[in-house]
Amino acid sequence: MQTRRPRLIWLTVGVALAVIVIDQVTKAWALATLQPRIAAGEGPVEVVGSWFRLTFVENTGAGFGIGAGFTWLFAIIAAVVAVVILRTATKLGSRAWAIALGGLLGGAVGNLIDRLMRPPGFGEEYSGPGQGYVVDFLQLPYWPVFNVADMAIVGSAILMVVLTIRGVEMSGRPRVTTDA
């Protein structure tokens, strides 16, 4: 088991890095392509009618507009989550949990990069680090606009629930149940 742990740490970090790169590249594309289009009043690009659109949003909060104005708090939470995941990865014995935690880490860091590197959202004043907006550009009906990092976070959360329900322990050992 000990010889597997370094590989699982690297798997976690590798998944996280892949998510971060894809997230940041797609956000750069959205900034270069979609932001000018939306600013010019042209509207979103309909990929699959009104079911899937590409648009541009400067998100200073979380989904559904929750927490706008508390960008700094989301930056702190993402940093704490990243540290906890990295510490947890040293105890992993399960490849599936390494993938799930890597996706969560990549998503958290992808959005944290935005919050640390971008200016505050439109109409907001800069009041310190961690105030930047997150680039969101994928739109489904009746759902907030999101990005690749958000997809990784949600996908990882779903995988974690499935692993928990199926009894897969982070350690890689089968869950011991006692019949009473």
For 108-120, the pLDDT digits (tens) are 999 999 988 887 7
Answer whether residue 108 is part of any domain: yes
Among candidate residues 23, 114, 136, 179, the one labeled active-site is 136
Answer whether residue 175 is part of any domain: no
The answer to whether 135 and 62 are in contact (CB under 8 A) is no
Higher per-residue pLDDT: 113 or 74: 113
* pLDDT surpassing 90 at residue 53: yes
The answer to whether 150 and 135 are in contact (CB under 8 A) is no
Spell out the residues 6+ positions from residue 5 whose beta carbon is closer than 8 angstroms to its own.
90, 91, 92, 93
* pLDDT surpassing 90 at residue 11: yes
Tell me if residue 136 is catalytic: yes
Give the domain extent around 67.
Answer: 4-165
Q: In this structure, what token pair is assigned to residue 55? A: 């648009």
Answer whether residue 110 is part of any domain: yes
Answer whether residue 141 is part of any domain: yes
Tell me if residue 23 is catalytic: no
Answer whether residue 180 is part of any domain: no
**Residue 127: per-residue pLDDT:** 61
Answer whether residue 69 is part of any domain: yes
Answer whether residue 172 is part of any domain: no
Burial annotation 81-116 (CB, 10 A radius, 16+ → b, else e):
bbeebeeebeebbbebbbbbbbbbbbbbbbbbbbbe
The average pLDDT across 30-52 equals 93
Burial annotation 128-163 (CB, 10 A radius, 16+ → b, else e):
eebbbbbbbbbbeeeebbbbbbbbbbebbeebbeeb
Q: In this structure, what token pair is assigned to residue 61? A: 């909060």
Answer whether residue 174 is part of any domain: no
Among candidate residues 23, 114, 150, 179, the one labeled active-site is 150
Q: How many domains does the chain have?
A: 1
